[in-house]
Amino acid sequence: MLQAEYLSGKTMHISLKGTLVKSGKVDIDIMLIDKNGIGETILKRYSIDAIGAQLDSTQIRGPIRLLPNKKTTEPTR
């Protein structure tokens, strides 16, 4: 499992490839890119069933931002 400290400050690049009309199959690639531009593939899956519409491919890239989380209180023993 990826730790929050490891993800902090990196960019995530998500790529969906495949043609869909209502439904079809897509290939999914998820990559982490560090501040030096070095990429690390964290997920590659092929022929995944999908629903939607897409003519060719879709790519999304953006910085990973860690959102504050509500602290939970656990009973003390």
Q: Where are the domains of the chain?
A: 4-61
Residue 15 has pLDDT above 90, yes or no: yes
| pLDDT tens readout for residues 27-63 | 999 999 998 999 999 999 999 998 888 888 889 999 9
- pLDDT averaged over every residue in the chain: 85
Quick count: other Cβ atoms within 10 Å of Cβ 57? 12
Q: Is the pTM of this model over 0.85?
A: no
Q: Identify which of 15, 9, 53, 51 has the alpha carbon closest to the alpha carbon of residue 33.
A: 9
